[in-house]
Amino acid sequence: MSVVCGLAIVLHPGMVQAQNLWQRLLLQGVQVLQLSNISPRQEVALGQQINDQMLRQGMRIVRNRAAQDYINSIGQRLVSVGDRRGLPYQFQIIQDRQVNAYATMGGFVYVTTGLMLRAETEAELASVIAHEIGHIDQRHVIRQLQQTAIAQGLMTAAGLDRDRGIQLAMELAFRRPRSREQELEADRYGLNLLTRSNYDPRGMVTFLQKLRQQGGTPPTILSTHPAPGDRLAIAENLIRSGLGNACLHTPQPMCGTDTIAYQQALRSFSN
């Protein structure tokens, strides 16, 4: 018997079964991702779950406050001129010698200590962060997650199982390369962020050149972020076409081109 608003209601066995079925469906609804119309709030929550899972699996975040403040100041400067300023972006440094960077949904951006050491100027570091913001603002991770889930037969009429979705999103964000189209789109978007935030956009070109010309074992970033030769050509052509950035003509301290200032900043983190 169930009491609702003071009235006694007798639940017959069939009604109980129906009630249990609805409870299971409601529970299932909580556990299923609707990727076609995921809200920003759901996107951030999913990104947080991915971040938490990576920490449980051993991802080491640099806790140095000065370093975190520095990387966050660069990221927020770029986000302030982007298309999704409402996302609560988080910029984190991973303790890892590999030269790499990652982005997952909801505004979570990661750069490795190896990448920060490989860059020679703040503009070069900012170019990588701007590229990663491009992946998030253009919803590349969500689109890639949806396409991969469909290809692997993981999508049902209800959607994608949340736990499976988290595992797949982690794999896509941290281990698999993006498509050529997404990489070029993130480059174009990142260049616009650089110019609009008054960073020297040539930082993207010089950093790509460093990675391409490096001898020995190619940097890890070239496996998770494919860098075909035309990426450099397209970036150079976009810059030559005139992006309206004062840094192209009269480099200023705010343009991030001071190599000495950048090296001093890095040394300050280890003190």
Point out the residues that are catalytic: 132, 187
Find out whether 201 and 245 touch, Cβ atoms under 8 Å.
Answer: yes
Rounded to 5°, the CA angle 117-245-194 comes to 40
Q: Residue 220, exposed/middle/buried by CB under 10 A (0-12, 13-18, 19+)? A: middle
**What distances in angstroms separate CA 132 from CA 2, 47, 242, one per listed residue?**
54, 14, 23
Q: How many other C-beta atoms lie within 10 A of the C-beta of residue 24?
A: 10
Report the sign of the C-alpha dihedral through residues 52, 92, 173, 219, in that order.
Answer: negative
**DSSP code of residue 87:** S
d(CA 113, CA 97): 6
